[in-house]
Structure 1
Amino acid sequence: MSEPIQLSNDRWYPQFHITAPSDWINDPNGLSFFKGRYHAFFQHHPYSATWGPMHWGHVSSTDLISWQHEPIALAPGEPGEDDADGIWSGSAVVHDDTLYAFYTGNRWVNGVDDSEGKYQTQMLATSTDGIHFTK
């Protein structure tokens, strides 16, 4: 896959609400407060402006006004894994100094598209720093 497009300096780019650096953005997920920062995740296809294999984009803030773009929090897994064709909606909770991200993993039955159906599995990723996640 190509690299995500870099943030545009376009004068129309929103200044005060959450958005991706570029490309497709969708449902907010996993709004949480962890280690002194507010975290917001969102469905994101970082490789084009059209719907594609969903990732979880990530921004964080100390004041809910100024948002910092963070690295992609969750990306689709390898072929055959339960989230190979997308990281779909979910939520996040904090417990015992760990951020738990619950999400729906999506995998096409035929491995190509959803024409023959899809498998969806509830999945978990954890983080101890709020930035790097382990599925």
Structure 2
Amino acid sequence: MQIQRRGQDHHDWSLYKGEGQVGVEWYFRHTTDLPTSVMLYHLEPGAEEGEHFHLEGDPGSCSVVSEDELYLVVSGEVVVTVGDERAVLRSGDAVYVPEGVPHGAKNESDLPAELVLLFGPPDGNPLRGK
């Protein structure tokens, strides 16, 4: 049985020229065979993941492969931008970001926020469209 406890793969990173540090837990980064990667973000008030996108072959991309991404807020509140749209997400809310679309998240509230991020190849969901 593989179990990963909180703190076993924790990093505090400045991401994509965003303000402050984002606490990042990366789950089973080196051991999973799933096509989707999983992270837990912890954002203190004012912290943000700067705007970025994932598109193979584009020199402005933050990754060398194309990836779709899903953000799920588990506590607190964040403001997300996806393309030209901006929305407030609270606990239980999620946003889906297709490959190549600029996006980012910021905690503009007075309380910490946590989000689960799922990201992987855009063709990874066998149930899509069914």
- TM normalised by structure 2 equals 0.28
Q: Higher RCO, 1 or 2 (CA under 8 Å, sep at least 6)?
A: 2
Q: TM-score, normalised by structure 1?
A: 0.28
